Amino acid sequence: MKKLLITGGAGFIGSNFVRHVVQKSPDYQVTVLDKLTYAGNLTNLDGVLDGARVRFVQGDICDPAIVDPLVREHDAVVNFAAETHVDRSLLNPGAFVQTDVFGTYVLLEACRRAGGTRMVQVSTDEVYGDVPPGTQSLETDRLNPRSPYSASKGGGDLQCLGFFHTYQVPVSITRAANTVGPFQYPEKLVPLMSTNAILGLPLPVYGDGQQVRDWLHASDHCAAIDLVLHRGTPGEVYNVGVGYERPNVEVVELILTELGAPRSLIRHVADRQGHDRRYSLDCQKVRALGWSPTYTFERCIRETARWYAEHRPWWEAIRARVDFQSYYRQNYEHRLQPAAPPA
């Protein structure tokens, strides 16, 4: 396999994956197809986008006129393109259905028409919904999405399975845990808290901050996707997680420690609607393919927080944009306002 179409490759994990392929597989050629939504950023590909080995096409995965010819020119598709932020899905669910369900369908249809192109669908542990303490999600578990984001990702996964069983499109699905590392848009927990801490702004922790997530480094996530692309079985799903289950507030405290910022910046604010309490994955299947993580929990969070401290121009440019500021006001202004004094 030599020619890869990487959709959503100008986003966080997609751009890390492009770097991973460039470093690991010198004989591969990559095309990045990305719409450049608010989350897409060509500077994420600085140093790798040379127009020859790695080229860029701006376009929408929902548009068959762009997708069909590109899929025909490539040996495999890895789909990172998605609307990805749960809080935004509460404000504008339609955009999530459009890209995460319909866009996935357009890619699958192109793979089918091209004669059965290999595809990996990059999905999420959130499709299993809230996981009670003491239990873990298996790939065969019933999907139980509880936000517009996870419902849309679940819809994309089901399209993949439908196209595999009906048309034998050789698609595999990865479902991964919370991922952190370089180039993550500063709306997600770790980059938001890191950049707010650096700026001396309040850190808005939803509810009691005891919600549990598992923390995976982008480079470990990319290695798992690469493995599934090459050694995974079509029609199969692979969970990708580490088992570093930590309450959010512990993650935030570790960021503050790494950045030398005071704990007094933490504000417990109104919770996210429908907030899942815990995710937890059984990952024996991907480990049986030969994957194991290289990052410890501490290194994962500390190194990421440090990356934000050392790359201020990258995120300051994003935070200065009108679209970031209007989203920030919409999601946080009411939460961070001081409570009115009792009447």
Q: Which residues are known catalytic residues?
A: 125-126, 149
Strands (E), the chain: 3-7, 29-34, 54-58, 76-79, 118-124, 171-176, 178-180, 203-206, 212-217, 237-240, 245-247, 266-269
**Least separation in angstroms between CB 87 and ligand NAD:** 12
C-beta of 99 vs 195, nearer to ligand NAD? 99
> Are the beta carbons of 6 and 78 closer than 8 angstroms?
yes
248 binds ligand DAU (CB under 6 A): yes
Q: Does 83 bind ligand DAU (CB under 6 A)?
A: no
Q: Which does 220 bind (CB under 5 to 8 A by kind): ligand NAD, ligand DAU, none?
A: none
Residue type, 24: K
DSSP secondary structure code for residue 212 in this structure: E
Q: Binding to ligand DAU by residue 213, rule CB under 6 A?
A: yes
Strands 237-240, 171-176: pairing is parallel
Q: Are 263 and 256 in contact (CB under 8 A)?
A: yes
Binds 211: which of ligand DAU, ligand NAD, none (CB < 5-8 Å by kind):
ligand DAU
Is residue 256 within a helix (H) or strand (E), and if so which, with residue range? helix 248-259
Q: Which of 262, 144, 254, 140 is nearest to 197 (CA)?
A: 262
Residues in region 67-86 near ligand NAD by CB under 6 A: 80-84
Name the one range near ligand NAD by CB under 6 A: 9-17, 134-142, 271-279, 316-324: 9-17
User: Residues 156-185 vs ligand DAU: string with x where CB under 6 A?
Assistant: ---------------------xx-------
CB of 29 to ligand DAU, least distance (A): 28
Binding partner at 117 among ligand DAU, ligand NAD, none, C-beta below 5 to 8 Å by kind: none
- Residue 234 CA to residue 324 CA, distance in Å, equals 39
Query: Which residue lies nearer to ligand NAD by CB, 61 or 251?
Result: 61
Site for ligand DAU in 84-103 (CB under 6 A): 84-86
38 near ligand DAU (CB under 6 A): no
Q: Three-state SS string across 15-54, please?
A: HHHHHHHHHHCCCCEEEEEECCCCCCCHHHHCCCCCCCCE
Partner whose footprint covers residue 106, from ligand NAD, ligand DAU, none (CB < 5 to 8 Å by kind): none
Phi-psi region of 159 (alpha: psi -120 to 50; beta: other; left: phi over 0): alpha
Decide the pairing of beta strands 245-247 and 212-217. antiparallel
Cβ at position 113, least distance to ligand DAU in Å: 29
Using CB under 6 A as the binding criterion, the count of chain residues that bind ligand NAD stands at 30
Burial of 94 (0-12, 13-18, 19+ CB in 10 A): exposed
Stretch that binds ligand DAU, among 83-91, 99-107, 113-121, 230-238 (CB under 6 A): 83-91
Q: How far is the CB of 36 from ligand NAD (least distance, A)?
A: 5
For ligand NAD, give the closer residue by CB, 188 or 265: 188
Length of the chain as a residue count:
343
Q: Does 221 bind ligand DAU (CB under 6 A)?
A: no
Show the site string, 31-50: x = touches ligand NAD by CB under 6 A, - = not. ---xxxx-xx----------
Q: Cβ of 253: how many Cβ atoms within 10 Å? A: 19
How many helices (H) and strands (E) in the chain?
Answer: 14, 12
Number of other residues whose CB lies within 10 A of the CB of residue 325: 11
Residues lying near ligand NAD in the complex (CB under 6 A): 7-8, 10-14, 34-37, 39-40, 60-62, 80-84, 99, 103, 122, 124, 153, 176, 178-179, 185
Residues near ligand DAU (CB under 6 A) are 84-86, 124-126, 177-178, 188-189, 192, 204-206, 211, 213, 248, 272, 279
